[in-house]
Amino acid sequence: MAKHFSYTFLYTFLFINLYISNALISSPRIFNVLSFGAVPNGIEDSTLGFLNAWSTACTSIFAAEVYIPKGRFLVRPLAFNGSYCRSPGINFRIEGTLVAPADYRVLGRGNKWLSFQKVTGVSIIGGTLEAEGHAFWACKRARNIDCRRGAASLRFTGSRNIRISGLTSLNSQAGHISIKRCQNVHIKGVRVIAADNSPNTDGIHVQQSQNVVIEDSSMQTGDDCISIGPGTKNLWIENIACGPGHGISIGSLAKGLKEEGVQNVTVKKATITGTQNGLRIKAWARPSNGFVHGVHYVDVIMQGVRRPIVIDQNYCPHKINCPGQQSGTKISDVVYQNIRGTSATAVAVKFDCSRTNPCTEIRLKDVNLKCLKQPARSSCANVNGTAFGVIKPNSCF
């Protein structure tokens, strides 16, 4: 099944790049935001200049490029809707920096800063997003009810054939990059940076999407480097540097009774450093029809990670709406292969699964994790699995 998935994924990946190449095979029509009133001084509002450049690019029947030259561009929330776009593909080529307003409430009232909805063939190439999230984080840490939800810096919803490459995202109020209800997405060479105590600043979040590639990227943040939500199918993650943060996480799942499953996820060649978790799957301890199936973690290095390998089906923060319940999420066919490095705690491998829906088909192959301060150990509850090759700490199956 894994081999079949690899071929299917490769075919899809080639299709995405062929589509983008064909869309841009002729020289794109270039629309410079300066020509539409944007000002690169970081002080004057350039929002309308960006929106007008997009609207004009959308009317082109040819490939188009919205060009953001060097400089700092102050922009308020930007919503790019592709419902009426005629162009077969639009590049956002960014050489400058987009800067959010200093007043965090301008973004905090909504849940997104730059949003693309129902677009096809859009590429974000280069540039920096500076969301100025420090004041918002301070508000959240103070538990101020006026903080609002906070905004993701970049969000794609209901879109297809998307490429994000060479982008740097700094200090997002909430999650940095969000992919929801999308198909055929390629993210490469992205840098995410936020303080290690910044709340809910996930690097990249993928949900209800399929055929997504994330590669050659680094995330330093205060939450998950990559978070994977319900409805994710055919996700390939490779060559990732993660840390600080909370690691690479599937979940939280089981937020609702009816929930789409997560399937066919591969994480390959990642280095995870100084994070709370390494490779984590977590589900709320309450009923759900969701599932996790077909997950492969391969060639991952842990460096001082508190919980390198963890499945938690008893997630119940603050003990609200979940004490005494069992998770309905079914977790099966999860492979950990060639996972090595150091744990910051004695329990390097922990499978805390549901009593009513035990984890099944969990496989360890050549896992070598050490704790520098004391002997490492494994902890198992309600899990069925097998172990092959060198396994340290000893398997608890």
Catalytic residues: 223, 246
Asked if 53 and 33 touch (Cβ cutoff 8 Å), the reply is yes
CA-based R_g, the chain, Å: 22
> Would residue 82 be called left, alpha or beta, if left means φ above 0 and alpha means ψ between -120 and 50 degrees?
alpha
Helices (H), the chain: 2-23, 47-59, 105-108, 134-141
Q: How far apart are CA 46 and CA 32, in angstroms?
A: 12
Distance separating alpha carbons of residues 37 and 100, to the nearest angstrom: 17
Taking the C-alpha atoms of residue 17 and residue 121, their distance in angstroms, rounded to an integer, is 10
Looking only at the bridges linking them, the beta strands covering 330-343 and 248-253 are unpaired
Q: Which two tokens stand for residue 181?
A: 């209800």
Q: Who's near 261: CB < 8 A, 6+ residues apart? A: 230, 231, 290, 291, 292, 293
Residue 36's φ and ψ, nearest 5 degrees, are -110, 15
Question: Which secondary structure element, helix H or strand E, spans residue 313, and what is its range?
Answer: strand 307-315
* Torsion of Cα atoms, 352 then 357 then 361 then 366, to 10°: 0
End-to-end CA distance of the chain: 24
